[in-house]
Amino acid sequence: MEPKLETRGLNLHYGAFQALRDVSLSIRPRAITSIIGPSGCGKSTLLRCFNRMNELIEGVRIDGQILLDGADIHDPATPLTELRRRVGMVFQRPNPFPLSVFDNVAFGRRVHGMDRSGDLAEVVEKSLRATHLWDDLKDRLGMSALDLSPEQQQRLCISRLVAVEPEVLLMDEPCSALDPIATGHIEELMFALAKDYTIVIVTHNMQQAARVSTETAFMLLGDRVEFGRTVDIFERPKDKRTEEYVTGRYG
């Protein structure tokens, strides 16, 4: 199976500090891949590479390749806005815009000039259905998104991404601001979304990685130490450092 996303020999420096070291990784399409590792290991940096968000930071230097469907994402032929439409990001803290529920979901389509094609209301409904928000909010589409519960806000942010028909969803600690029940709901949602999208999740919560993902990468000090089936990482890791981290003996 061709990987959806792939890095080859990826190095990233923040000034003199090297945050990623020769990272090579193949991410399977329509599956959930998690990236785990202690704070500062480079996992969020790696995630942000996939839609070129690190380039907003001053002094960042990247070499090596990042391929989306086999094409280099740094190729000038791939416009950045198009890349970010295809590869969306869900953040740690839900970040709805101070707009209505409807306008939040419609936002991306308007930005990407997609609102002219088809019925916007239809897309909003479909996107809210995808995150199971529709039944709760269909009569309150005009309410401010800021008045939603944290879980609903996170679902809304995912709806906002889904509305622009992405292919990859990057999730950076998407449940860390949620309680265990809401976390369970978002994980269920991830399973449902993985039928249509490629999901890459960065998480500190190892049990979450074990529960949701089919493949797991363990990173340490910028190195991709081990990458494989999640069940192998958590039952029989090959690398001693992975073993020490997942069993809590690290550090």
Partner 1 sequence: MSNVLQRELERLKKMILAVCAVVEENVGRSVRAIETRDRELARRVIESDKEIDRTEVDVEEECLKVLALHQPVASDLRFIVAVLKINSDLERIGDLAVNIAERAEALASRERIRAPIDVVAMSEKARAMLRKSLDALVTLDPKLAREVGAHDDEVDAMNRENFAKIQQEIRADLVDLDSLLQFLSVSRYLERIADHASNIAEDVVYLTEGNIVRHKGSAS
Residue nearer to partner 1 on the CB measure, 94 or 237: 237
In the complex, the smallest distance separating the C-beta of residue 132 from partner 1, rounded to whole angstroms, is: 28
In the complex, the smallest distance separating the C-beta of residue 187 from partner 1, rounded to whole angstroms, is: 16
- Interacting residues of 150 by C-beta distance below 8 A, sequence separation 6+: 94, 177, 178, 182
> Is 239:233 a contact under the CB 8 Å cutoff?
no
Residue nearer to partner 1 on the CB measure, 104 or 216: 216
The CA distance from 200 to 171, in Å, is 6
In the complex, the smallest distance separating the C-beta of residue 38 from partner 1, rounded to whole angstroms, is: 13
- Interacting residues of 145 by C-beta distance below 8 A, sequence separation 6+: 96, 97, 98, 99, 100, 101, 104, 153, 156
Sites of contact with partner 1 (CB under 8 A): 206-207, 210, 234-237, 242-243, 246-249
In the beta sheet, which residues pair with residue 60?
14
Question: Do β-strands 168-172 and 71-72 pair in parallel, antiparallel, or remain unpaired?
Answer: unpaired
Task: Name the residue with tokens 């190095």.
Answer: 11
DSSP 14-77: ETTEEEEEEEEEEE-TTSEEEEE-STTSSHHHHHHHTTT-GGGSTTEEEEEEEEETTEETT-TT
In the complex, the smallest distance separating the C-beta of residue 211 from partner 1, rounded to whole angstroms, is: 11
Residue nearer to partner 1 on the CB measure, 175 or 246: 246
Which run of H or of E encompasses 144? none
In the complex, the smallest distance separating the C-beta of residue 46 from partner 1, rounded to whole angstroms, is: 22
In the complex, the smallest distance separating the C-beta of residue 208 from partner 1, rounded to whole angstroms, is: 12
The CA distance from 62 to 14, in Å, is 9
Q: How many helices (H) and strands (E) does the chain have?
A: 10, 10
Residue nearer to partner 1 on the CB measure, 59 or 248: 248
In the complex, the smallest distance separating the C-beta of residue 84 from partner 1, rounded to whole angstroms, is: 35
Residue nearer to partner 1 on the CB measure, 166 or 237: 237
Strands (E), 203-250: 215-220, 223-229
Residue nearer to partner 1 on the CB measure, 191 or 250: 250
Residue nearer to partner 1 on the CB measure, 62 or 175: 175
**Residue 147, both tokens:** 């008045």
